Structure 1
Amino acid sequence: MPSRDQRGNVHGRDGRFAQQHRAAAEVTLSRTSHREQAAEQAEWLKSDLSRIAGYLHGDDDASLAAANELVGQATVRLRRLRADVARTNIEHTVRKHFPDAAELTLINRGSSSRPDWEPDIVRDGDRDTLWVHTSNTFADEPWGSNLIMDLLQLGDDEDPDPTGDADAVITFQ
């Protein structure tokens, strides 16, 4: 699961960090792929759905109660699966199109909060921040719009700051 924090990297004209945005989700991309986690969640979900179907064939209260409980469990697994698949897609896309970027921040409300003079990639010491927002030229590319949608998926369930601009910060290890 991604850790949730209030880190949003916004660079000022002088290169200092300003903590102006809260990240709804932070994803650390390491050598461990999220693909295995997604596959494991899918197998558990498949098992849950099969058990739910079995309980629904019973017409007693206990069977219906068990089916209802499993539906709740399956819903949680589905959310985890959705997040793991989104992380897998993000990992693949970022590594393919931005192999040198150390960090990626999504700006999902256009460039209104991002000054025009701010370049897409900002260097601060040994850390690069790649700004991804809907006005980027690659947002019109299929992989770019998919990347934005995958990042937004991670912030859907819990958004600590619905007025903030940064939905995800992705850091490479």
Structure 2
Amino acid sequence: MPLGNLIIAGAVLFSGGSAHKFLTLCKHASIQMFSIGTYMKIQSLYLVPTIEDVWQRGQLHLFTAAKESGEPLRLGGDGRCCSPGHTAKYLSYTLMDLKTNKILDTQLVQKNEVRNSYAMELEGLQRGLARIAEEELQISHLVTDRHSQIKKFMREVHPEIIHWFDCWHIAKGTFYMFF
């Protein structure tokens, strides 16, 4: 594997660029470059496994630090869909430690894994809380948006966790009621 190929493929991926656009640019500028197939192979064989390894080691470090603090976690959770409305195919749900402002966990949910796109946010939260529980970490507070399924889930399944609503979401909802 030529080192230059690995560096260029990494630069495209890590900068959030499009491999197709980059390779088209190189073609129009008459710059000799690898094919899209080679890019995909480099990405799947080297780059993605490296990203996963770095993420897992960093996450383990954060979990260890949280355990050593001996304090229960105060988490903020929110989901982000790939598109607005109920047509979303993917949702990433993120749990952040509000004391350290560090992302402790992120979960990707696909629409076909749940009954509809509205249920993706609850599924993401459930997976994230399960991951935190695997590490035997305690949670004292959780801040989320006003998702009705999450509200019910927290009340019925996790009454030991104090559940708060994010004031930004409340303010946004109030604004839309008046304007």
Q: TM-score range by the shorter chain?
A: 0.3 to 0.5
* Structure with the larger helix share: 2
For normalisation by structure 2, the TM-score amounts to: 0.31
Greater Rg by CA: 2
For normalisation by structure 1, the TM-score amounts to: 0.32
RCO (CA 8 Å, sep 6+): is it higher in 1 or 2? 1
